[in-house]
Amino acid sequence: MSKEKQDMEVEEKRYEKFEDVEEDLEDIERISAVERTKDRLYREIKECPECHSRDLVLDTERAELYCNDCGLVIEEAIVDLGPEWRAFDFEQVSRRARVGAPMTYRIHDKGLSTLIDWSGYEGKVASAEQHRLKKWQQRMHVTNTSERSFVFALSEMDRMASALGLPTNIRETAAMLYRKAMKKGLIRGRSIEGITTAILYIACRLHGVPRTLDEMAEVSRVSQKEISRSYRFLSRELDLKLQPTSPVDFVPRFCSKLGLDGEVEAKAIEIIKEAQEKELTNGRGPIGIAAAAIYIAAILCGKHKTQKEVSEVTGVTEVTIRNRYKELAEELDIEVIL
């Protein structure tokens, strides 16, 4: 065996070791801690004090919480998210401290790649060391197949997220989950399309702004069935404890799609809250409940929408809306006059 080949193998081992540290789960834990903080904020500050919209956006770079409807900045510099790396000893500090763009999970190598130039420093000819590094970079960058599919998955998730108008923090969560799934070897042998769509669906739910499977299927290239299969698989294997979605989470989006204002929205949420207290929502599909509550609320506010209109936006049938709204009206003693 030639000297060069031996060298390469040693180098390869070292590279793998470095990758291990770099990809360490602690990064993922750190990101989820940040996500939890954001979620808590969303829960504490539920709506815009100015226009009562629930469409609030957290800008992580400027650390502002602002209202997406009227643009009011509700909180500034809410949390110090700190450096996005954590160091346990001096060696790690020196390895990880750096200047530059913040690390992101949405670029396949977390945005850490540096191009090594072929030309030497200060006019000198490139050293053998540099040649070797360049060679390794070419080999390790995007060449192996799992990296390739990861790049594809990220672009796919970004495409769908754009189509759905999802904020960046959800995209970050999705990318983080994908990395996690990759580490556990859950991707191999499964369709990337199905997995990415399911992950995006999960990310939305984690942030309390669930999309329906219908909506996901519209922007995805795979069927609803495939998405829910992948979703069940992932939530089992990653043992994510997703509590069932509340109908309330769907109300703002459905209302705005129907062109209904905050008054109807608030009324619908009120109805759902009451229904939940009387345990009328148990075992019922959250989307159906949301649809029925909106239907009732619209009538009560004198802004009648037909069952068909509500049905088209929510994706549940008129029959289900009827059944739910009959139940709700009956149990909550709401007089619904058409």
Nearest distance from C-beta of residue 235 to DNA, angstroms:
10
Q: Does 320 bind DNA (CB under 7 A)?
A: yes
**139 near DNA (CB under 7 A):** no
Instruction: Work out how close the CB of 198 gets to DNA at its nearest, in angstroms, rounded to a whole number.
Output: 13
Residue 282 and residue 269: Cα distance in Å, rounded?
16
Q: Extract the tokens encoding 252.
A: 């703002």
List, in order, residues 6 or more apart from 50 with CB less than 8 Å away. 67, 70, 72
Report yes or no: 26 and 20 within 8 Å, Cβ to Cβ.
no
Which residue, 167 or 285, has its beta carbon nearer to DNA?
285
Q: What is the 3-state secondary structure (H, E, C) of 100-112?
A: CCCCCCCCCCCCC
Site string for DNA, 175-214 (x = CB under 7 A): ----------------------------------------
- Binds DNA by CB under 7 A, chosen from 39, 167, 315, 332: 315
Taking the CA atoms of residue 24, residue 28, residue 29 and residue 33 in that order, the dihedral angle to the nearest 10 degrees is: 150
CB of 203 closer than 8 Å to CB of 175: no
Question: Within 250-309, which residues bind DNA (CB under 7 A)?
Answer: 283-285, 288, 304, 306-308
* Angle, helix 192-206 to helix 224-237, in steps of 10 degrees: 70
Rounded to whole angstroms, the Cα distance separating 242 from 191 reads: 23
CB of 322 to DNA, least distance (A): 5
Q: Are 279 and 305 a contacting pair, CB within 8 Å?
A: no
Binding segment for DNA among 54-62, 150-158, 177-185, 322-330 (CB under 7 A)?
A: 322-330
Q: Is residue 218 a contact residue for DNA (CB under 7 A)?
A: no
Q: How far is the CB of 281 from DNA (least distance, A)?
A: 9
State yes or no: residue 223 binds DNA (CB under 7 A): no
- Show contacts with DNA in window 108-137 (CB under 7 A): none
323: contact with DNA by CB under 7 A? yes
Asked if 235 contacts 242 with a C-beta cutoff of 8 angstroms, the reply is: yes
Task: Return residues touching DNA (CB under 7 A).
Answer: 225, 228-229, 232, 283-285, 288, 304, 306-308, 315-320, 322-326, 338
